[in-house]
Amino acid sequence: EVTLDGLPVPNAKVMFMPAAGGRPAEGSTDATGKFRLTTNSPHDGAAAGEYVVTVTARSIEYEAQAGKEQGYVEKAVWHAPEHYS
């Protein structure tokens, strides 16, 4: 379960990178902050071992801006501190 200040972090990407190298396990949190990891097949989890774990919780907002080719600029909004990514 992923929480921040005691509250669940929904829609976050969770990545377990093996410290010794190899295939990572990853998953996404649900509305309650819970996640299931996938390595080779859906929800098979992660192998035993040491991992570096990252949590990326952000969304992209679009802000209108005159003079830009697209007419807008993208702005990342972090829902958990960026240093956890």
Determine the pLDDT at residue 81. 80
Q: What pLDDT, on the 0 to 100 scale, is given for residue 73?
A: 78
Which regions in the chain score pLDDT beneath 70? 67-68
Give Cβ neighbours of residue 64 (< 8 Å, ≥ 6 apart). Answer: 71, 72
CB 57: neighbour CB atoms within 10 A? 23
Give the SS3 label for residue 82: helix
Cα–Cα nearest to 53, from 5, 18, 1 = 18
Provide the 10 A C-beta neighbour count for residue 85. 14
pTM: 0.75
pLDDT at 68: 65
Angstrom distance (rounded) from CA 5 to CA 9: 10
